[in-house]
Amino acid sequence: MDSGNKLVLEEGAAPHPGEMVLEYLDFHGWSQADLARRTGLTPKTISEICNGKAPIMPPTALAFEKALQRPAHFWLNLQRKFDEVEARNHECAESLSWQDWVNTFPLREMRERKFSLPAGRSDADALLHFFGVSSPESWNAVWKASSVAYRQTRTSKIREESIAAWVREAELVARDLELEDFNEQLLLNSLEKLKKLTRVGADEIMEPVQEICAAAGVAVVWIPELRNTGISGCAKWLTDKKALVALTLRYKTDDQLWFTLFHEIGHILLHRSRRSFVVDNAAEDLSDLIVDPEMRQFEAEANQFSADSLIPPNILGEFIRRRTFTNESIHDFAEATGVGPGIVVGRLQHDGVLQRHQGNKLKQKINWEFANEE
């Protein structure tokens, strides 16, 4: 008891409230039976509280408020603090069995790539906060409920936990973007604006791409790829009115970046009701089998959407029939079409008109400096 006749808890301590009750009984010179008579509670209830076997409930706190002259919230706060410490101790003990789950995630790589892992916590606690779940079981339930569809089949080389971590980081980064509600027509009308940006330097595209897409309700973010994912991008509906497109720089050239962006936008526009969450894995790292046969059609449709949006097929056909594919002719065709020359080279290479080594000087090389990563 201090000079003001009030008992004080040691800072940071969390004893059971019954210990404080005993100190007040000692101060007043009362027995437990005296307190039972003053509060109308049974001697058994008082004994269990004093021995740390029963909690102080709100009606009990109100009775103590009158008998012991301390407000009900004082006793309830003691109980709350004790319960929280007990719960944390229980979770800490339980987390020892979570290490196998923790080990499935690339924590070191996630930290190296500056993912949004909270500092100053254990690995298990950091992962739980990162994913916004309370246990490995709840993480598994949330991830399974997301119904992710993969472009390619998963193999032993691909780690689902690494994919989940990458997607989660994309979600967290997207939270910082201000989005309007999704507007399909506005997004369609914005494709020409995006296409014009293919002629701009890679270090200048990030902000305008995000602004154009955000106005139509789509968050576009670039997230460094994690090993054992093979991810080039993903399309995901965050809510009924907000969508996410996340990209990596897996191929590090402008043609691949822009094709992937338009491909993911294609998923958003074409497959909303059928596939609300699609992860596009790199084909060369995986087999040619599709996890879900339906994805063959969806991928073909997204590919066609991207290709035709960037270079209309009738215009491309006329250019190919000329059979003149010098750097100068490609550059002139790209300028007339309103698209970056690297996009044309990539399309011609994909269609087998050019060899993979031809025309690459017209492509822009991209690294993470364009995203202001240190």
Provide the pLDDT confidence category of residue 374 given band limits of 50, 70 and 90.
very low
Same domain, 152 and 30: no
Average pLDDT of span 142-159 = 68
pLDDT tens for residues 296-323?
788 889 999 999 999 999 999 999 998 8
Is residue 3 one of the residues assigned to a domain? Answer: no
Is residue 176 one of the residues assigned to a domain? Answer: yes
What DSSP assignment string belongs to 77-100?
Answer: HHHHHHHHHHHHHHHHHHHGGGHH
Mean pLDDT lowest for which of 53-67, 95-109, 180-194, 280-294? 280-294
Question: Which is more confidently placed, 214 or 279?
Answer: 214
Same domain, 166 and 63: no
Is residue 355 one of the residues assigned to a domain? Answer: yes
Same domain, 86 and 192: no
On the question of pLDDT at 3 being above 50, the answer is: no
Q: How far apart are CA 328 and CA 255, in angstroms?
A: 18
Average pLDDT of span 142-162 = 71
Average pLDDT of span 190-213 = 94
Contacts of 370-373 spanning 24+ positions with Cβ under 8 A: 370/202, 370/203, 370/205, 370/206, 371/206, 371/222, 372/206, 373/114, 373/224
Mean pLDDT lowest for which of 73-82, 106-115, 199-208, 306-315? 199-208
On the question of pLDDT at 1 being above 50, the answer is: no
Is residue 115 one of the residues assigned to a domain? Answer: no
Same domain, 227 and 362: yes
Same domain, 248 and 310: yes
pLDDT for 275: 75
Is residue 128 one of the residues assigned to a domain? Answer: no
On the question of pLDDT at 289 being above 60, the answer is: no
pLDDT for 23: 95
Average pLDDT of span 94-123 = 90
Percent of the chain with pLDDT over 90: 69
Same domain, 51 and 162: no
Provide the pLDDT confidence category of residue 117 given band limits of 50, 70 and 90.
very high
pLDDT for 127: 95
Is residue 111 one of the residues assigned to a domain? Answer: no
Same domain, 271 and 363: yes
Q: Could you tell me the two tokens for 311?
A: 């270079």
Same domain, 65 and 173: no
Same domain, 63 and 173: no
Provide the pLDDT confidence category of residue 295 given band limits of 50, 70 and 90.
confident
Spatial CA neighbour of 266 closest among 184, 173, 344: 184
Average pLDDT of span 72-82 = 95
pLDDT tens for residues 252-277?
899 999 999 999 999 999 998 777 78
Provide the pLDDT confidence category of residue 11 given band limits of 50, 70 and 90.
very low
Q: What is the pTM of this model?
A: 0.78
pLDDT for 86: 87
Question: Which is more confidently placed, 10 or 87?
Answer: 87
Q: Could you tell me the two tokens for 38?
A: 């003053």
Average pLDDT of span 274-287 = 65
Q: How many domains would you assign to the chain?
A: 2
> What mean pLDDT is reported for the chain?
87
Structural domain including 151 reads 146-374
CATH at 46: 1.10.260.40
Is residue 249 one of the residues assigned to a domain? Answer: yes
pLDDT for 369: 67
Average pLDDT of span 326-348 = 94
Provide the pLDDT confidence category of residue 292 given band limits of 50, 70 and 90.
low
On the question of pLDDT at 233 being above 50, the answer is: yes
Which residues does 154 contact at the CB level (< 8 Å), separation at least 6? 160, 286, 291
pLDDT for 75: 96
Same domain, 82 and 156: no
pLDDT tens for residues 359-368?
999 999 988 7
Task: Report the relative pairing of strands 277-281 and 149-150 from DSSP bridges.
Answer: parallel
Q: How far apart are CA 36 and CA 32, in angstroms?
A: 6
Amino acid identity for residue 33 in this structure:
A
Spatial CA neighbour of 326 closest among 302, 297, 362: 362
Q: Could you tell me the two tokens for 276?
A: 């609300």
pLDDT for 4: 39
Provide the pLDDT confidence category of residue 152 given band limits of 50, 70 and 90.
low
Provide the pLDDT confidence category of residue 10 given band limits of 50, 70 and 90.
very low
pLDDT tens for residues 156-188?
567 889 999 999 999 999 999 999 999 999 999
pLDDT for 87: 84
Is residue 120 one of the residues assigned to a domain? Answer: no
